Amino acid sequence: MAITLAQSRRIGAEIAKKNPRFKPIVKQFGPCPLGLNSRKPLESNFSTLASSILSQQLSTKAAATIIKRVKNLSGGRISPSGISRVKIGDLREAGCSNSKARALRELAQATLSSEVSMSSLHRLGDEEIKEQLLPLFGIGLWTVEMFLMFQLGRQDVWPVGDLGVRRGWEKVHRMKGEIKPAELLKLGELYSPYRSHLAWYCWRATEIL
């Protein structure tokens, strides 16, 4: 799914051509980095998903603190085998809620039992990945969409449930009211197969407009 910098530039130009309101956003922030072949994942698929679970409904600072504690508990890195050996009570003492501790343990078990082919998710299509991950406790659609975009570099994810994407779209189009996810889902069809880039530019729009 990797693309080149030149391809990303062309996608940005295409978005600006289809919708000139995005032209100043594309001009200021340049090509979207999602999926660039020069950017390799820094963490494993399991570690990324585990960190997403731990970060839910927390500030960036609080999440980083808890992730660090969990890493220490599991042997210096968040791995399925490491998490499976950590007691629920220890996870709770590290700052995890009951539901997050359960989600981590179930994710580890699903990985170790090969219920989820964690190391080969990149070989699956987006819908196949959703079918594997969404049944797991503590993993919702938003988490999977962020995983697809930022970990696997998928180009055509359109996370209309994300508040930042909706607010960015509203600002770009100077909307007075709030757009509904269902409406935005339909509007995004014009930009397939590079809706991940569109989402990224919506996020950037919230920073300047």
Domain ranges within the chain, ordered by starting residue? 5-35+156-208, 45-151
Q: Which of 90, 126, 156, 162 is catalytic?
A: 162
Residue 3 has φ and ψ, to the nearest 5°, of -130, 165
Question: What's the rounded Cα separation, in Å, for the pair 169 and 38?
Answer: 28
* Terminal Cα distance for the chain, rounded: 31
In the predicted model, is pLDDT for residue 198 greater than 80?
A: yes
pLDDT at residue 171, as a whole number: 96
Assess whether 90 carries a catalytic annotation.
Answer: no
**24 vs 57, higher pLDDT:** 24
- Identify the pLDDT of residue 1: 64
pLDDT at 195: 98
Residue 14 confidence (pLDDT): 98
Residue 43's pLDDT is 87
> pTM for the full model?
0.89
What is the SS3 assignment for 118? helix
SS3 of 3, please?
Answer: strand
Query: Taking residues 171-180, what's their average pLDDT?
Result: 95
Q: At what angle do helices 60-73 and 45-55 cross, to 10 degrees?
A: 130
Write out the two tokens for 140: 């919702």
Work out the widest C-alpha separation in the chain, in whole angstroms.
55
C-alpha span between 168 and 16 (Å, rounded): 15
pLDDT tens digits along 37-56: 766 677 899 999 999 999 88
CATH for 5-35+156-208 is 1.10.1670.40
**Would the pLDDT of 135 be above 70?**
yes
What CATH class has 45-151? mainly alpha
Categorise residue 197: left if φ over 0, alpha if ψ from -120 to 50, beta otherwise: alpha
Among 53, 49, 48, 46, smallest CA distance to 100 is for 53
Return the sign of the alpha-carbon dihedral for residues 175, 186, 125, 99.
positive
Count other C-beta atoms under 10 Å from residue 58's C-beta: 16
As a whole number of angstroms, the distance between CA 145 and CA 165 comes to 12
Cα dihedral: 53, 58, 62, 68 (round 10): 0
Using the predicted structure, report yes or no on whether residue 140 has a pLDDT greater than 70: yes
pLDDT of residue 60: 85
Q: 83-128: per-residue pLDDT in tens?
A: 999 999 999 999 999 999 999 999 999 999 999 989 899 999 999 9
Q: Which pLDDT value is given to residue 37? A: 78
Structure tokens at 206: 């919230």
Mean pLDDT for the chain overall: 93
